[in-house]
Chains A and B, each alone.
Chain A
Amino acid sequence: MLSGLQTNASRNRYLGDFTRVVIVITAITLAGWFAPLSYHALGYVYLLAVIALSLNISRWPALAAAVLSGMAWDYFCVPPKLSFAGIHFDEGLLLTTYFAVALIGSQLTALRSAADRAGLLAESERMHQTLLDSVSHEMMTPMAVFRSAIEQLGTPDQGKRLRVIAELEIALNRLDRLVANLLNQNRLESGVLRPLMDWCDIHELIAAARRVVGSRIGDHPLTVEISPDMPIFRADAALLEQAIVQLLVNASVHTPSDSAIRVSAGVSPDSRNVVIIISDNGPGVPEEIRNMVFDKFTRGNNAKKGGLGLGLSIVRGFMQAQGGDVSIASSPEGGAQFTLQLPFEKPSSIPIS
């Protein structure tokens, strides 16, 4: 199947090359017929054309260019015109030059494209290796904790056992989050993500997100402001909840332990979008990396160790899957402010009885 595709592709490329050859030679022949040039000069024009063509096409089309040029030159340009003249020494030399140039030029083209492919391959291999290194680091760290915790659980010291269990839980949560992120990223990239759009109540979503975040919010005071006339709106509740969870966890991880986090929600003044804003008063995200933070595997320079840099890329993917988006700005207090937005349409009338 695959090799069939490749044969098809190379056949198409050959056809394209041959078409170019015929067009160029025909054009030169037509121009040469009317131009006041000697047949010697025209011979060099053909030569230049063969050089230019052979540097861009593969071997057989290049040789065809050489043969065609030779025949066209002899038939149309070398007197007596409109007949194949006998080949003298100097004409023969020029014709041979066509062939030599065609072979050398096309060989150079082949070498260049092989080098390009090798370069691409090396680049993709390098990225693959980097990804593999960071994924295995992220996986091995919690597993190392599991192994050493199991050994320490045999201790008769009850206090120590409880501390070990707490460590186990942290490692488990970390592994859990990592696997969930990898699966989500994969769902986004493989295109199997089909959002289930449904009418949602923002109160419920934020409450559910807070439950999921649970103790990960730490000591951060969280305030929620939902505009009193906030209507229900269409979204994939599970995806939007995960986006809010990710932003809340990010805000708690990247800001000092007791700094406030604010969530607010409302409809934009033009009634076209539902807007959910999650802001903190931590160090913020430097202006120069703001347009990169949603790319996968991007992590802030000052970010704490750990993590693959997938979280915000997943937030963007989930929001775009629902027809919305996420953006970043500075919060009024100078921290980071993330805005989730979704297209808003009014619900149809609800039968009230």
Chain B
Amino acid sequence: MKNESKPSILVVDDEEQIRRMLRGVLEEEGYSVRDAESGRIALGEIALNAPDLVILDLGLQDTNGTEVLRALRPICNSPVLILSVLGNEKGKIAALDAGADDYLTKPFSGGELLARLRALLRRAHPPSAPMATYQFGPIQVDLVQRRVLRGGEPVKLTFQEFNVLQMFVMNRDKLLTHQNILKEIWGPQAKDHTEYLRYYVMQLRKKLGDDVNSAAGHFQTETGVGYRFVSKPH
């Protein structure tokens, strides 16, 4: 981050009014905002001066957002938030697999947008070195000793259950696609076996006392896309 108090955000959207409105919302929050109306201009802006975060519309006129991502990733490591529309699950998944970090479905509220941005920026700039133990409400996870406590009581997790939990903890607050997790835990040949994932998340929820119906649950389902492990659910 070039300026601690003012992270810079590049907004890439071909609708001028959307760019104006986003600029208003973001500047009010103290971000420094640049914008680009096409993928080509965006790549030029990024090459010139990499922003701390990119907001990228998937439905650009000149290039497909996923292509922009592929061209962007070698020159810029900043988190990318995708803006998508209802029903475009395939486009979303393709963009996330191409290196996007999260998505929002239009129309979204300013509050939702700001919450996502804060989480993405927090992840991109961790305050300190990775820790050995993490506390999520009553749950304590010790990654070194591979131990989990729930309200002080030890929770028995199987080897693989712990691996899945560990991946969520290491990527907390980040959206993980089904394929991300399956490839990491079970290898590339298991990338379509979402039944493994459903079973293991079900088990983890049960053992950690995480209520699927409650907004306070840590394991958040992104329908058709993946999971997000929320460190501080509201």
Contact = CB atoms under 8 A, between A and B. Distances in A.
Q: Indicate the member of A200, A204, A211, A236 with the most B CB atoms within 10 Å.
A: A204
Given A232-B199, A241-B223, A352-B160, A198 B212 contact: no
A187 interface: yes
Nearest to A240: B223
Contacts, number: 66
Contact of B194 (A198, A203, A352): A198
Interface stretch (A21-29, A36-44, A176-184): A176-184
Interface residues of B, number: 25
Interface in B177-232: 178, 186, 193-199, 201-202, 212-213, 215, 221, 223-224
A199 interface: yes
Interface stretch (A75-83, A159-167, A343-351): A343-351
B160 A205 contact: no
Given A196-B90, A352-B158, A353-B158, A232 B198 contact: yes
A352 B21 CA distance: 50
A318 to B, nearest CB: 11
Nearest to A349: B195
B212 A183 contact: no
B89 interface: yes
Interface of B is mostly: helix
Interface in B146-193: 158-160, 178, 186, 193
Interface of B: 86-87, 89-90, 107, 158-160, 178, 186, 193-199, 201-202, 212-213, 215, 221, 223-224
Contacts of B197: 199
Contact of B198 (A180, A184, A201, A348): A201
A241 to B, nearest CB: 5
Contacts of B212: 203-204, 207
A122 interface: no
Interface residues of A, number: 31
24 contacts: A183-B86, A184-B87, A187-B87, A196-B89, A198-B194, A198-B224, A199-B194, A201-B202, A203-B202, A203-B213, A204-B198, A206-B213, A224-B213, A232-B202, A238-B223, A238-B224, A241-B223, A241-B224, A347-B195, A348-B195, A350-B195, A351-B196, A353-B158, A353-B160
A241 B225 CA distance: 13
A350 B178 CA distance: 16
Interface of A: 172, 176, 180, 183-184, 187, 196, 198-201, 203-208, 210-211, 224, 232, 236-238, 241, 347-348, 350-353
B135 to A, nearest CB: 24
A41 B201 CA distance: 90
A205 B194 CA distance: 15
Contacts of B86: 180, 183
B107 A176 contact: yes
> What 6 A-B pairs have minimum CB-CB distances, sorted nearest first?
A199-B195, A238-B224, A347-B195, A204-B221, A237-B224, A199-B194
Given A184-B87, A232-B195, A205 B223 contact: yes
B37 to A, nearest CB: 23
Contacts of B223: 204-205, 208, 237-238, 241
A180 B107 CA distance: 11
